[in-house]
Amino acid sequence: MSRIILIGLCASLFLTQVTWADDEKKNYNQVSLSAMASNEIKNDILVAILYVQEEGRYPKKLADKVNEKVSRAVEKAKQQTEIKVQTLAYRTNPFYKKQKIAGWRVRQSIRLESKNFSQLSQLIGELQENLALEQVSYQVSPERRGEAENQVIKKTLTAFKERADIISQQLGFGSYKLIDLNVNTSGGYSVMQGRMRTEMYAMDASKRMTPPTLEAGTQTIQVNINGRVELQ
């Protein structure tokens, strides 16, 4: 019985040594490296947030005013087929004077989104008769972002392969084998233009707000690739 145990122990030690040797061999001549590439893409989605706010002593009357103005704005936006409209948070809050409730403040916002910048700019100018413009942001659509990422990934992979070739040749090896690869992308998300107020835009002779001038600008899509290769 003891002889069987001894033989089993020897076999176990032998397998451990072989496994350790195999692990060491797997990591032999491995090199970690990385590459990065980027590209500028134009924003193709415009998002605007507008709001209605009323203050006074009677919450119900204030709510009726806000609801009426928001309802008219939503109906007007829905007439534009290229503009998406969404109502946002509705809030009723008290305000105080000398630690006592002096009145109420009722507010609701709407969100407008479109790829047609001129159409949305014109609508913003019209809606500012009753709503205030809070902020504008620019985004890259998922389809444009996906196309841009694929292009940058190709550029980054080319740079990665060139570096692997240089390292392999300079260290006296004829080729290399890819062990693992990680691809990370960043950029191309929402970019805020900042908060705005209705007073920033001049009234024309007909008492209607002049549409704001909007320029989408660009964003940077960046791809980072890191991985390991085994020199052969």
SS3 226: strand
Q: How far apart are CA 27 and CA 5, in angstroms?
A: 33
Write the pLDDT tens digit of every residue in 188-222: 666 665 444 444 333 444 455 666 667 778 889 99
Query: Any idea where the domains of the chain sit in the sequence?
Result: 28-43+141-189+218-232, 45-97+104-139
Q: How far apart are CA 93 and CA 59, in angstroms?
A: 9
Residues 107 and 66 sit within 8 Å (Cβ to Cβ): yes
**Predicted local confidence at residue 211, as pLDDT:** 65
Strand partners, 174: none
Write the pLDDT tens digit of every residue in 94-110: 999 989 999 999 999 99
Write the pLDDT tens digit of every residue in 69-100: 999 999 999 999 999 999 998 999 999 998 99
* Closest listed residue to residue 201, CA positions, set 92, 50, 65, 94: 50
As given in the structure block, the two tokens for residue 34 are: 């990385």
**Predicted local confidence at residue 4, as pLDDT:** 42
As given in the structure block, the two tokens for residue 55 are: 């203050």
The residue with greater pLDDT, 9 or 209, is 209
Per-state percent for the chain, helix, strand, coil, to nearest 5: 40, 40, 20
CATH architecture label of 28-43+141-189+218-232? 2-Layer Sandwich (3.30)
Mean pLDDT, the chain, rounded, equals: 84
Share of the chain above pLDDT 90, in %: 71
SS3 189: coil
SS3 111: strand
CA distances from 59 to 65, 109, 190, 220 (A): 10, 17, 35, 47
CATH number among 3.30.70.270, 3.40.228.10, 3.30.300.30, 3.30.70.360, domain 45-97+104-139: 3.30.70.360
Instruction: Answer yes or no: same fold for 28-43+141-189+218-232 and 45-97+104-139.
Output: no
